[in-house]
Structure 1
């Protein structure tokens, strides 16, 4: 069974926190461990929460939703999005041009994400 991991930017510091997602009302928290059997959570900016795809790029970096990546041509950038068939890479600046992440993962290089770049 694969782990479903998320990341989000900590409110106030902008530090990326990785772990399990917990939402209550409009707030989002990342649970990252336990302290004395009590879950440790950090509040994150809800609009920055992204799910891990379960894949790694050719350099071993985890690929998350909202990541920006390149393949063979460094001028052509793609953004990781979720659609009805799963996580896909949508070419920036075009309409409807998608690539399958699983098929191309050995050529993908993550260069940033939409929240930082």
Structure 2
């Protein structure tokens, strides 16, 4: 079964939260199922859960992929390639790339506007940050 989860930065303290994405009345929440986060489990099939509100601009989906160090790769992450990938002859070593979802797949891109290839050869990629906490890592970042 696919592992579908999301992350986003909490509105109350700015920390990252990961789990299930919930939307209610235009607000976005992340819920991570634990015994502490489920308040009440009734016999009527309904449960009451605790979910934290997150900044919608920071929401990203888990790619189900891991980098060369075993770290999860998320939409919005910035990765660095350590060696040439035969599939991408023009992939330059030492340049940061953004992970984004475009054209129905997770891609690498030089910036938020220019996806140019699907993620492959993960053994050369390393997560070095993300677009929300470290935009300066990308070319032209502010």
Whether the TM-score (by the shorter chain) exceeds 0.5 is: yes
State the aligned residue count.
Answer: 114
d(CA) in 1 for partners of 2:102, 2:73: 16
Q: Deviations over 1:70-111 (max 9, x none)?
A: 11222x110011111400111249x7462321x221111001
Structure showing greater radius of gyration is 2
What does residue 105 of structure 1 align with?
122
Q: Which has the larger strand fraction?
A: 1
What does residue 78 of structure 1 align with?
97
TM-score, with length taken from structure 1: 0.88
What does residue 28 of structure 2 align with?
28
Give the C-alpha shift of residue 112 in structure 1: 0.6
TM-score, with length taken from structure 2: 0.73
User: Over the residues paired in the alignment, what is the CA RMSD in angstroms?
Assistant: 1.8
Give the C-alpha shift of residue 36 in structure 1: 3.2
